[in-house]
């Protein structure tokens, strides 16, 4: 198959591109390297079936050229940060909403039959009902969450009007190798891991009792591949199916690294969700998804990767 991976130099996208290339597919990576990194795909540069195009999903003409003859598009490109979206909602809308519309338009123009896209659990907001199910009413708390919801709506419309099979995967808290810890808006696990490895205390925004449903990146990659290979369309939660508090996470990472530092607590960040837990039964029923990697095993692999210089 010939697959397009937008955001393919990023954390999730590069792991996905690697898996597709390993499975023998032709892979076209599109990334403007604004948050992705060349280092993430350097090892794929010599692969004769992998092509890298430096460009943005905001460039419709580029997407149409790249998508000609494609069998499917994995759309991972995004401004993937709640704090960054709060600081710059216009940029978030341009990349996440217009960019997704461009990807869907390119699929329509080029006759690409399926688009599997990254969405987010942020759409659920602070609804107190647990676990989160796809049929729940959206309660977005940030421009990022609004942008992801808009992308899902565009996906359904393009599916209904133009016959493109669209799948939007609501990622919960993804972690693993190649996740960037250096950004001001980096996710919690790479921040905790790298600070501990540097002998510094982890920084917790809030009281640390907020919970997250973490999922290892290899499970997310597999969910994308299974969704593309199936016949389902719509919106699906992709998560580990259990939650852990940030205080528990910090303690677990201290045990794994052998480095014990009491967390430093700072004020909560605007737009952050308090608690998170997914019902993942719909994805299991639709395309056989179940997480295979335990949280501790994934954390150990992540710590090893960062400890070996992966940052």
Residue for token pair 């890298």 = 52
CB 69 within 8 A of CB 51: no
Q: Is 165 exposed, middle or buried (0-12, 13-18, 19+ CB in 10 A)?
A: buried
Gap between the Cα atoms of 37 and 51, Å rounded: 15
Gap between the Cα atoms of 128 and 274, Å rounded: 9
Q: For the residues of 95-112, what is the DSSP string, one character each?
A: IIIIHHHHHHHHHHHHT-
Burial code (b: 16+ CB inside 10 Å, e: under 16) for 267-281 equals eeeebbbebbbbbbb
Residue 65, both tokens: 């050229």
Q: Are strands 72-75 and 211-212 parallel, antiparallel or unpaired?
A: unpaired
Q: Are strands 244-245 and 211-212 parallel, antiparallel or unpaired?
A: antiparallel
CA angle (307, 308, 309) in 5-degree steps: 90
Residue 6 CA from chain centroid, whole number: 12
CA contacts within 13 A on the Cβ side of 234 = 11
Q: Which of 144, 154, 171, 185 is catalytic?
A: 144
Neighbours of 213 (CB within 10 A): 24
Distances (CA, A) of 219 to 225, 288, 294, 295, 302: 10, 12, 10, 11, 14
Task: Please indicate whether residue 265 is annotated as part of the active site.
Answer: no
Q: Which residues have a catalytic role annotated?
A: 144
């Amino acid at each position: 198959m010939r697959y397009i991976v937008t955001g393919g130099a990023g954390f999730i996208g590069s792991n996905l591109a690697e898996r597709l290339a390993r499975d023998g597919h032709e892979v076209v990576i599109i990334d403007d390297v604004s948050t992705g990194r060349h280092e993430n795909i350097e090892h794929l540069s010599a692969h004769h079936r992998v092509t890298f195009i430096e460009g943005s999903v905001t460039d419709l003409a580029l997407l149409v050229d790249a998508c000609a003859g494609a069998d499917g598009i994995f759309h991972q490109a995004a401004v993937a940060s709640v704090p960054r979206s709060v600081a710059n909602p216009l940029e978030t809308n341009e990349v996440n909403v217009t960019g997704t519309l461009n990807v869907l338009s390119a699929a329509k123009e080029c006759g690409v039959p399926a688009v599997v896209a990254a969405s987010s659990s942020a759409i659920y907001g602070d609804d107190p009902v647990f676990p989160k199910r796809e049929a729940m009413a959206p309660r977005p708390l940030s421009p990022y969450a609004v942008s992801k919801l808009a992308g899902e709506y565009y996906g359904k419309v393009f599916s209904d009007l133009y016959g493109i099979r669209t799948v939007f995967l609501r990622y919960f808290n993804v972690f693993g190798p190649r996740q960037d810890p250096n950004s001001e808006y980096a996710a919690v696990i790479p921040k905790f891991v790298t600070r501990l490895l540097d002998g510094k205390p982890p920084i917790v925004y809030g009281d640390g009792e907020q919970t997250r449903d973490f999922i290892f990146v290899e499970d997310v990659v597999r969910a994308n591949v299974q969704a593309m290979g199936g016949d389902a369309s719509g919106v699906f939660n992709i998560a580990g199916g259990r939650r852990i508090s940030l205080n528990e996470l910090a303690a677990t990472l201290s045990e794994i690294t052998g480095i014990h530092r009491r967390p430093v607590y700072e004020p909560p960040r605007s737009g952050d969700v308090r608690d998170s837990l997914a019902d993942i039964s719909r994805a299991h029923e639709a395309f056989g998804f179940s997480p295979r990697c335990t949280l501790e095993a994934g954390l150990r692999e992540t710590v090893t990767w960062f400890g070996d210089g992966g940052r």
